Amino acid sequence: MSAPSPAPLDLAGLAARLDVLETATAARACLTRYMRLCDVLDGSCDLDELGALFTRDAVWQGRGSRYATAFGRHEGRAAIAAFIGSYQSPTPHFRANAHFLTSETIEVEGADRAHGTWLMLQTPTFFDGSSFVMCADLAVDFAREDGRLRMSRFRTTNLWSRPVGDWNQPSSFPTPAPIASATATPTSRTDR
């Protein structure tokens, strides 16, 4: 008796699954690049590159009482780039800035659309020297335009914000106590 022949390879199914992975990766890469550009709003940020991350008719919107008032709503690629550009001239708004994304979910709708949500932590130091830690909920829609996945709707809602001291203070930070003997060897985590 011979072994049963293997099932035929479902190339169409594999191609569809690959499209989902590539679309999710493109969405993640688009948002990550946007955040990296927003980290350098010091006059060197390429606003054309930033604008190209959005569809021509995209909407960028601050939501909730704090962000709706502070950021408003901006429609169209040029308006979004101009709004973000206002943070770098005539005087840069930030001395230092970093965005951290976590708690990601991306839902793909075919090869041309995706929707994602993230929690974003931002740690800016402003031009006046004050520093904040801010947490926001991001909801971002993506659409393929001119062969590239771009943001079509960006919504940010403040969850909390608070001032903090200077991020890079010279004070020491806590570390484990020094080992008593120079010949002592560190123990592994399983030995503790």
pLDDT (tens digit per residue) in 42-67: 878 899 999 999 999 999 999 999 99
Q: Note the pTM of the prediction, 2 decimals.
A: 0.82
Give residue 102's pLDDT: 97
> What is the rounded distance in angstroms from the CA atom of residue 84 to the CA atom of residue 48?
11
- 62 three-state secondary structure: strand
pLDDT band at 187 (very low <50, low <70, confident <90, very high): low
Domains of the chain: which residue ranges? 18-167
Closest CA to 154 of 89, 99, 111, 110: 99
What CATH number should be reported for the domain whose range is 18-167?
3.10.450.50
pLDDT (tens digit per residue) in 54-106: 999 999 999 999 999 999 999 999 999 999 999 988 788 998 999 999 999 99
Closest CA to 166 of 127, 125, 134, 128: 125
